[in-house]
Structures are given as structure tokens and as C-alpha cells.
Amino acid sequence: MMGGLFRVFGRPEFPGAVARHVELSAAALLVAVAISVPLALLVNRSPLASLIAVNIGNIGRAVPSLALLALAMPFLGFGFAPSLVALAALGIPPILINAATGLREVSREVVDAARGMGLSNLQILTHIQLPLAAPVIFAGIRTSAVQIVASATLATFIGGGGLGDIIVEGFQLSSTPVLLAGAFTVAALAIVTEVVFGALERVFTPEGLKVAKRRQAKR
């Protein structure tokens, strides 16, 4: 079994499949962040608009990954582009929900105090709201990233490539080593993604919030 796994890992096309998977996942995550965070900032000043954005995000989370890929295929055909669009659409809801919620939950007293000190709306956003909401926003990005990495295996069904090709080959050939090689690699990428974004979440958490959390934990 182990020998078969290593033979699959040693295939000339295997590194390319991993690179394609990572490329597709990273591009989809960047698109999801580029859409979700500005949208959350746009609706931030309106409680109603923020609530609507969160509810739309919750509806979006209920759509299965394979359904998104199937919806993208008739309009964009096969290949990288429809896979990118579908995976970005999958990644938007967790980021949008967390960003809108995190910004909305920043204390109004803190914002009013900053405004009373003469800070402009832009300064309040960049120096107060975003730093305080950063842990929640990064938690959403982390969730989105892991979902995208895991779901990118389905891109093989619309010609997106990646490790899904290896997994499907394993099913078609009834080859356990091929199947496990693809599955283990996807799992490893998902775990690495979780660890990396968890570390980024801690890095971007303001020190004051870390101290407050430690004090709460001791009570």
C-alpha cells in the first residue's frame, strides 16, 4: 500500500495537479475576499443593509458546492474560469457574514468616543472598526479558505483540474493507492490552510483584545 502511494506521489503529473489545486483555491479565495470585504464595508453604516447582507450570505451557504459548479458551467463552459467563479461564490458567504457581523458588533460607544476626539469616518473605520473586527473577519476567511480547498476537488467535473483528477482516476480504476494519494493530499492542504489562517487570525488580533480574552478565560 505505501509503495503504491509513493509511486503515485512520484508521478510527473502529480506536482502539477497539486499546483493547479492550490492556484485555483488561492485565486478563488482572493476573489471572494475582494468582493466580500468591500461589500461588508458598504453596508456597514446601515443596520438594515447589513442584516440583508448577512441573510443573503446565510442563503448562499445552503447552496451545495456541486450545484454552484453546475450553474457556472452553462455560462462559462469548462475549465479554470467556471471553476474559479463557482469556488469564489462558495467562499463569499462566510467572509461576508463574518465581516458584516464583526463591523456591526463594534461598540457604538467606542465609535462615538472616537468621533468625539475628532476622527473622520475613514479614520474610525481604519483605526477602530477594522482592527476590532479583524479576528471575526479572519475567522470567516479561514472558514472560506478551508471550504474552497476541500471543494476544489469537484472542479474536475467541469475541467478545472487539480487533485480531483487524481481522486476520480482512483475511483475509475478502483485503485486504492491513487484514491488515497489524492484524498490525503487534499486533507493535508486543508489542514495546512486551517493552521496558516489560524495563525494569521492571531497575528491580526489587537493586543488589547488578546488581553481581554485572557482575563475572561481566568474568570
Tens digit of pLDDT for each residue in 5-21?
777 778 888 899 999 99
pLDDT digits (tens, 9 = 90+) for 57-110: 877 777 777 777 777 777 777 888 888 988 999 999 999 999 988 888 887 787
pLDDT digits (tens, 9 = 90+) for 121-160: 778 788 888 888 888 898 999 999 999 999 999 888 888 8
Name the more confident of 64 and 194: 194
Q: Residue 56: pLDDT band by 50, 70, 90 thresholds?
A: confident
30, pLDDT greater than 90: yes
What is the rounded distance in angstroms from the CA atom of residue 103 to the CA atom of residue 53? 13
CB atoms within 10 A of CB 98: 26
216, pLDDT greater than 70: no
Name the more confident of 119 and 36: 36
> In sequence order, which residues have a C-beta less than 8 Å from that of residue 56 and are 6 or more positions away?
96
The CATH number of the domain holding residue 142 is 1.10.3720.10
- Domains identified in the chain, total number: 1
What is the rounded distance in angstroms from the CA atom of residue 212 to the CA atom of residue 210? 5
**Domain limits at 103?**
2-218
What is the rounded distance in angstroms from the CA atom of residue 182 to the CA atom of residue 4? 12
Q: How far apart are the first and last CA of the chain?
A: 51
This prediction has a pTM of 0.88
